[in-house]
Amino acid sequence: MLIPIEGVLSKDEVRQFREQLAAAPWEDGLKTAGTLARAVKRNQQLADGSPLAVELGNRILRKLGNNPLFISAALPSRIYPPKFNRYADGGTYGAHVDSAVMQVPGSSVSVRSDLSATLFLAEPDEYDGGELEIEGPFGIQAAKLEAGDMVLYPSSSLHRVMPVTRGARIASFMWIQSMVQNDSSRTLLFDLDQAIQGMSGVVPPDDERLLKLTAVYHNLLRQWAQP
């Protein structure tokens, strides 16, 4: 399932990010492309571990840690340090699937990619093209969100970034290992949690039905979670 998460960064935060990224030392994205990706990847990225990528990445991680919708949807156990990319002048990333396990540079930690995320840092009217197209059970879905919004999608899905034919598409992207590896189990928990959240404004907090549903949520999570 493709899940949009609005307002991960405020417009003011996006403005600060963009100011810092405008002067960033962008590198050819081919540097980190695997054998298959080399044929389809045309973009720029910030080097992993560059001071700016680390600083901005940590700001994003702090925001995500306080975002109830993100926590509910991703149930994260580990997040690969956010990376940054830029597509301009026809830049594109053809159809590919992300690697299943990624070693965090400079550490012995690896992250299994259960979910992939793109956090848009340019407004849709700043560039033409650049849609993130994701193949799922109901066909292709395209995401081109407002700056500050993020889309989450299963890392198992084939996806591509359409050529950017005007302007520049700037984004952060990352991979998430979830406490609940199975996509459909995680989606069930997300739907249940959202339904419970929706009810809690309507019925009193000690409502028995609400307590029962909350217990079911936690007991399913207890069965399925690998923290």
Q: Which of residues 75-104 bind Fe ion (CB under 5 A)?
A: 98
Query: Of these, 63, 86, 159, 186, which contacts ligand AKG (CB under 6 A)?
Result: 159
Query: Of these, 92, 113, 118, 178, which contacts ligand AKG (CB under 6 A)?
Result: 118
Residue 131 interacts with Fe ion (CB under 5 A): yes or no: no
Q: Among Fe ion, ligand AKG, none, what binds residue 85 when CB lies within 5 to 8 Å by partner kind?
A: ligand AKG
Per-residue H/E/C for the chain: CCEEECCCCCHHHHHHHHHHHHCCCCEEHHHHCCCCHHHCEECEECCCCCHHHHHHHHHHHHHHHCCHHHHHHHCEEEECCCEEEEEECCCEEEEECCCCEEECCCCCCEEECCEEEEEECCCHHHCEECCEEEEECCEEEEECCCCCCEEEEECCCCEEECCEEECEEEEEEEEEEECCCCHHHHHHHHHHHHHHHHHHCCCCCCCHHHHHHHHHHHHHHHHHCCC
Which is nearer to ligand AKG, 157 or 193 (by Cβ)?
157
**CB of 212: closest distance to Fe ion in angstroms?**
40
Binding-site residues for 2-oxoglutarate: 169
Which is nearer to Fe ion, 159 or 186 (by Cβ)?
159
Query: Of these, 3, 46, 64, 132, which contacts ligand AKG (CB under 6 A)?
Result: 132
Binding site for ligand AKG (CB under 6 A): 85, 93, 98, 118, 132, 159, 161, 171, 173
